[in-house]
Structure formats: C-alpha cells, structure tokens
Amino acid sequence: MSLRLTDVAVARGGVPVLSGVSFLLDAGAALVLRGPNGSGKTTLLRSIAGLQPVLSGEIEGGADAVAYAGHADGLKAMLSVSENLRFWAAVYGQTDISAALNAYELTPLSDRLAGTLSAGQKRRAGLARLMVTGRPIWVLDEPTVSLDTHAVSLFAAAVRSHLQGGGLAVLATHIDLGIDADVLDVTPLRAKVQAMHGASDEAFL
Ligand SMILES: Nc1ncnc2c1ncn2[C@@H]1O[C@H](COP(=O)(O)OP(=O)(O)OP(=O)(O)O)[C@@H](O)[C@H]1O
C-alpha cells in the first residue's frame, strides 16, 4: 500500500490554488501538511480523498483506500455514539466498534445522542469513525480542533497504532503530535493567481 502524488495541481471555485505537488508515502508513513490559512491544504486533502478532481497530475493509491475526516464531524445528531459508529462501520462493511470506543474513551458516552455531546466529545466520536472503516489511508483536516490535551494524546496514539499496523496518514495540522512524520510546507507550491473574490465552489459552502 502506498500513496503517490505526481505533479498535482488543485483548484477551488475553478481557480488554481496549488500546483506541482509530488510525494510518495509508503505503508506506515505519515505526512503533515503545513501552510498559512487559505493556502490550499483542505483542497489538496479533498482531492486525495477523491471528493474533487485534480486540475492536472496524478494521484495513485487514494480514493477507495481513503477514510476522510474533514472539518465536520460526520455524526448524525439523533443517533447515539455507538449507533453512529455502527452506521459508519456498516457503510464500510465492518462490524467491530469496540477498539474505536476504547481508543477515544467513548465507552461511557456510547449511549448518548451525538447531538448532546460537547464539541470536543463530538470531535473524538468523529475521529473514532476512521477506526471503524478499516481503510488504510487516513486523510485528516485539522483533526485536533476542539480537543483538549488528553484527547490530542488519544488521537496521536490512534494514529501511531494505525501506522504501526501498516496504515498511512496525511494530515493538515498546526499541532506537533509527536508522531514521526514528514512535513510538506505547501507555501512554495501556491499557484501564482489566487482566488480573491468572485469564484465560488458550492460543494464547499
Ligand atoms: N467555497 C469556495 N469557493 C471558492 N474558493 C474557496 C472556497 N473555499 C475556499 N476557497 C479558497 O480556496 C483557497 C484554498 O482554501 P483551502 O480551504 O484549501 O485552504 P487551507 O490551506 O485549508 O486553509 P485553512 O488553513 O484556513 O483551513 C483559499 O484562497 C480560499 O479562499
């Protein structure tokens, strides 16, 4: 299992944001994307997850192998935590949610409706979704938002264990997770012409 990007360019609202993105990630490896707000990290992550096409270049190994966690937690408010996890597991043809509940210390909250959780608890449940997918490539956009220090350490442990099991991870984060990861600063890869106004991309709104 590997993820390879070759000379990839991505756009938002039809306007190029990044170009010339190339990297190879092998099983067990993680890549952290860095760059200022608006530089294109989310756009690149969505392309790797197969949620939007690239402008040019090639992504090999992504899409069907990816579990994506974006800014939204992806929880159904009127389902309990365990129902949410079982739902996601079923979507990916899996059944076991116990490891995910344990990893994020969600067992005491397993019968609570997701809509009644705090922001950090929702985020923990949203991240636990990744573990029930069985997918090897985790693509994560600012995963630690709303997490307290302890929850950040739970997340870092979950990523470490995923990598040790032969998984891969690509994440945009400004936090040092203490994970052995390569860093890609996208700043030099920003397209010359950036979206200032006018263009919009409704799928992102
Ligand atoms: N819905 C949209 N339609 C058009 N352009 C957008 C839309 N959303 C964001 N953009 C623009 O696309 C560019 C890249 O945004 P993107 O969200 O990928 O950056 P980012 O590096 O993830 O930013 P942040 O660190 O703030 O999350 C920015 O110039 C942004 O203003």
Is 139 inside any structural domain?
A: yes
Q: How far is the CA of 191 from the centre of ligand 1 (A)?
A: 13
Rounded distance, CA 87 to CA 12, Å? 31
Q: Which atom of ligand 1 is nearest to the CA of 40?
A: 18
Specify the pLDDT at position 202. Answer: 53
Pairing between β-strand 15-26 and β-strand 2-12 as defined by DSSP bridges: antiparallel
Q: How many domains does the chain fold into?
A: 1
196 confidence band (pLDDT: 50, 70, 90): low
Is 170 inside any structural domain?
A: yes
**Token representation of residue 40:** 């294109």
Ligand 1 environment, Cβ below 6 A? 12-13, 17, 35, 37-43, 194-195, 199-201, 204-205
| pLDDT tens digits along 134-154 | 999 999 999 999 999 999 999
| pLDDT tens digits along 112-136 | 999 999 999 999 999 999 999 999 9
Is 16 inside any structural domain?
A: no
Q: Name the closest-CA residue to atom 25, ligand 1.
A: 37
What rounded mean pLDDT belongs to the chain?
Answer: 93
Residue 180 has pLDDT above 50, yes or no: yes
- CATH code of the domain in which 149 resides: 3.40.50.300
Is 38 inside any structural domain?
A: yes
R_g (Cα) of the chain, nearest Å: 17
Q: How far is the CA of 2 from the centre of ligand 1 (A)?
A: 27
Rounded distance, CA 56 to CA 33, Å? 20
Pairing between β-strand 30-34 and β-strand 15-26 as defined by DSSP bridges: unpaired
Q: What is the ipTM of this complex?
A: 0.94
Range of the domain at 146: 27-54+62-185
| DSSP state for residue 12 in the 8-state scheme | E
Is 204 inside any structural domain?
A: no
**Count of beta carbons in the 10 Å neighbourhood of residue 55:** 17
Rounded distance, CA 97 to CA 123, Å? 16
Question: Can you give the length of the chain in residues?
Answer: 205
Residue 74 has pLDDT above 70, yes or no: yes
